[in-house]
Amino acid sequence: MTTPFTTVRDLLRYSVSRFNAAGLAFGHGSANAYDEAAYLILHTLHLPIDTLEPFLDARLLPSEIDEVLGIITRRADERLPAAYLTHEAWMHGCRFYVDERVIVPRSFIGELLDDGLQPYVADPDEVSAVLELCTGSGCLAILAAHAFPNADVDAVDISADALEVARINVAEYGLDERIALFEGDLFAPLAQRRYDVIIVNPPYVNSTSMDALPAEYRHEPALALAGGEDGMDVVRRIIDEARGWLTDEGVLVVEIGNERTNVEAAIGGLDLVWLSTSAGEDSVFLIQAGDLPAH
Mean pLDDT by 10 residues, the chain (295 residues): 84 97 94 96 96 95 96 97 96 94 94 94 96 98 98 98 98 98 97 96 95 95 95 96 96 94 90 92 94 86
Among candidates 289, 107, 62, which has minimal Cα distance to 203? Answer: 107
What is the structure's pLDDT at 254?
A: 97
Tell which residue, 40, 18, 20, has the closest CA to residue 29: 40
Domains of the chain, first to last: 8-86 (1.10.8), 101-291 (3.40.50.150)
What per-residue confidence (pLDDT) applies to 268? 80
